[in-house]
Amino acid sequence: MRTRFGNYLLVAMVAVLALMFVSAGAAQRPDGADPKAAAKPTPRLPSGHPNLSGFYINRTAGIPAYGSDPIGEAGNLYKQKDGSILFLYGGANEGIPNPDAGNPKQNENQPPYKPEYMAKVKEIAATVYGTITNLDPNLDCKPGGVPRVGISNMQVVANDNFVALMYENAPGPVYRIVYTDGRQHPKDLDTSYMGHSIGHWEGDTLVVDTVGLNDETWYTQTGSTNALTSIHSDKEHVIERFTRRGDDLEWQATVEDPVMLTRPWVLAPSHNQIGPAADYIQPQMCNTNDKAHIIRPSATDKFECNWCQKNVDAVYGEGASADRQKNATPRPAGGGGGGE
């Protein structure tokens, strides 16, 4: 069976190079709600609570605006009048300007680590090349954990006793169950990647309490805009809030870690939407093939930008770098991971 990525790569095989390097951060859903999706009627369970069931996805195969029209110039993908899709790849020299060039502003909402753990986090951050480090546990195919899995591409099945969240690629097929039947956390709970989750309703918001998380996951990916967002202890405790309005799902999380953090860390809300009617979950099998090829920064090799030739003059001839700057045409940011 073809995977989601396989289906879309058939559209334009040249896009393979671009998709291989789309970082986990770039693949996440935008933070804003979709007004059209939120305006639809909200389905409800027999109890009257919102029914969270559905397949949520708003980015796939490098297409930022998947499910809407136009497909999204931010990903250099354009829908033609005949329905075909054009992928504009301008070559290495078209990587100017680039969102990763220079020193991008780091996410200001960082976990408030205690000094002794901040030192370890900075050690990890120093290994980042572009937007990735080979220390990331996701590269070993370990489940993302909570809150990292967030509300990425997922199938939700809900009733009045539980909510099942099945993730398409986190980084492989991963699931978790949120019990809403009134039970409490087990007293002799063993830690795991996804922990143990129980939920209750506060109005139309499902509040999920998760404990029993092991210390083998990170809060989120480490990269150029969130380089200090990584490790946690096995005492991590996460409170999430899921609110469905029409076909829009809002998610917000608060993380407590008395071992590593000085206070609770509140993540900004994010959104995902119900996908096109004909779409469905297509679990992506994880492999570690890329890990050995990930570059670490060194004294002679510092990350500069994505999709660019660092030494243009050496490759194209003296003066090529000046010509590139002179002729560069600003384009919408297209994303991409650490380049070589």
DSSP output for 270-322: EEEEB--TT----PPPP--TTGGG----BTTB----SS--S-HHHHH-TTHHH
In tens, the pLDDT along 250-281 reads: 999 999 999 999 999 999 999 999 988 888 99
Could you give the 3-state DSSP secondary structure of residue 156?
Answer: strand
Q: Which one-letter DSSP state was computed for residue 213?
A: B
Residue keyed to tokens 């039947």: 181
Find, among 153, 180, 136, 227, the residue nearest to 5 by Cα: 153
pLDDT value of position 314: 84
pLDDT in tens, 140-183: 999 999 999 999 899 999 999 999 999 999 999 999 999 999 99
Tokens at residue 329, please? 């045409």
The per-residue pLDDT for 301 is 86
Per-residue pLDDT, 261 = 97
Q: What are phi and psi of 92, to 5 degrees?
A: -60, -35
**Which tokens belong to 326?**
């002179």
Residues of the chain with pLDDT under 50: 1-2, 7-30, 70, 92-104, 223-224, 329-340
Q: pTM, whole model, 2 decimals?
A: 0.78
* CB atoms closer than 10 angstroms to residue 216: 16
For residue 288, how many C-alpha atoms fall within 13 Å in the half-sphere facing its CB? 11
The full set of domain ranges for the chain reads 4-273
What's the pLDDT score for residue 11?
38
Q: Residue 142: what pLDDT?
A: 95
- Continuous segment of H or E residues that includes residue 8: helix 4-9
Phi/psi region, residue 62 (left: phi>0; alpha: psi -120 to 50; beta: rest), is: left
Give per-residue burial for 267-290: e unless 16+ CB within 10 Å, then b.
beebbbbbbeeeeebbbbebeeee
- Residue type at 23 in one-letter notation: S
d(C-alpha 49, C-alpha 7), whole Å = 36
Is there a contact between 83 and 9 (Cβ–Cβ < 8 Å)? no
